[in-house]
Amino acid sequence: MAAGRHACARKRLKRFTVTAQTLAQKLLAAAAGRDTARVGEILTCKVDLAMFHDSSGPRRLKPMLEELGTGLWDRSRVVLVMDHYVPEADDESRRIVRIARDWAREQALPHVYDSVGICHVVVPEHGHIRPGMFCVGGDSHSPTGGAFGAYMFGVGSTEMLGVVASGEIWMRVPETLMMRWNGRLNPGVTAKDMMLHMIGRMGMNGGRYQAVEFCGEAVRALSMQERMTLSNMSAELGAQAGLVAPDETTRHYLRQAGVADVDTQRWQSDPGAPAQWHDFDAAALEPQVAAPHSPANAAPVPAYGDTPVQVAYIGACTGAKLDDLRAAARILQGRTIAAGVRLMVAPASQRDQAAADAEGVLPALLRAGATLLPTSCGACSGYGGSIPEGANVIATTARNFKGRMGAATARVFLASPYTVAASAVAGRIADPREFLS
């Protein structure tokens, strides 16, 4: 009889023992009002934040909401950013932006950012994304929010309609891929190089709609904006979300964004949590370049060292934040771009542009011969006609698909701000380490 009681007690203990959870599991469990979540489980999650922009938002959501006869579930949890079609260059862009502005006024939205920068940079700048949140965005690079220890991913207009009407969305709990970067990056090597290397090694479907978590000594040493680059380009890895567990670097950034102290201890993957592990050596990583027409065509920069360039583009949410502009200025300070090369700089936000100006970073870029463009998505989304036909372009953007940046005959190479700046000086794809010695 006693043995039977002990056996029942062991069964009860096993049933109520909490298994080790990844950060992704913890975030989705919390969003579903649960203590734990199992991989493969279907959960209904409550949304903390819904973000969309002039291209993905009102012009599509407004007629659908009117047809349903419903309103927004919670205006305080909606953020609208005008960044794709600004500044308006033609009648179509003026129509799209006017719809967004009119709808924002009709709905009395409290969080609207008009022509002040790219959504994936502006939203974190204003403290909207914090550890533990569950967020959706109407853009494929919405995983940027994962850099803050939040679960954030991109959805299409139909899914966004359900979110803004109900405040909920169903989720299948994904497996987690742990990308562990050991050691430290060398000078001239950045988070962009880390991402291009991972995409080159694993392919654009390497994440298979799973959650990717970036960890290890090299990741912990990255600034917040560099971590945002990792999470941003998890989309190019094929992942649903790209996570970095929050720490003191996260807390410091959020304090500057006006957010009071946040809980970082809770939002960490447990030791022994189920995950696939992949190890990388940060100290051995060289600057990377991805050849046309895929981010997966990545190789160390010497492989493309004789390729001439006509356009160098420092822009986009993944390549024109303040840290990116600083990197470019380290190369361009006291130098001039090569004859026949056009260097374009489109800062990711007005806040970063102002800081770069105050630090002397922006003046250094302009003295070198750069042309300053508006703080918007610009050429990255094929808007503005900045990329000429037939040009070889080296860019800090996240994607180099054929025709994405406007000209279908252009050949776009992806690289870090260091490498783009070095190439603008050399007139060919160049190794930035040669300019930093």
DSSP for 49-97, written as a single string:
EEEEETTTSHHHHHHHHHHHT---S-GGGEEEEE-SS-S--SHHHHHHH
Task: Determine whether 87 is exposed, middle or buried from the number of CB atoms within 10 Å of its CB (0-12, 13-18, 19+).
Answer: middle
Number of Cβ within a 10 Å radius of residue 47? 21
What SS3 class is residue 283?
Answer: helix
Cα 251 to Cα 129, 131, 259, 268, 333: the distances in Å are 12, 9, 9, 14, 32
Cα 241 to Cα 30, 127, 218, 238: the distances in Å are 16, 19, 20, 9
d(CA 119, CA 349): 9
Closest CA to 195 of 330, 285, 93, 303: 285
- Walk along the chain (437 residues) and give the pLDDT tens digit of each residue: 445 544 444 443 333 345 999 999 999 999 999 999 999 999 999 999 999 999 989 999 999 999 999 989 999 999 999 999 999 989 999 999 999 999 999 999 999 999 999 999 999 999 999 999 999 999 999 999 999 999 999 999 999 999 999 999 999 999 999 999 999 999 999 999 999 999 999 998 876 789 999 999 999 999 999 999 999 999 999 999 999 999 999 999 999 999 988 999 999 999 999 999 999 999 999 999 999 989 999 999 999 988 999 999 999 999 999 999 999 999 999 999 999 999 999 999 999 999 999 999 999 999 999 999 999 878 777 776 568 888 999 999 998 867 677 778 889 999 999 999 999 999 999 999 999 97
**pTM of the shown model:** 0.94
**Domain 23-282: CATH superfamily, name plus number:** Aconitase, domain 3 (3.30.499.10)
- Where does 288-434 sit in CATH, by number? 3.30.499.10
Q: Where in the chain is the domain with CATH 3.30.499.10?
A: 23-282, 288-434
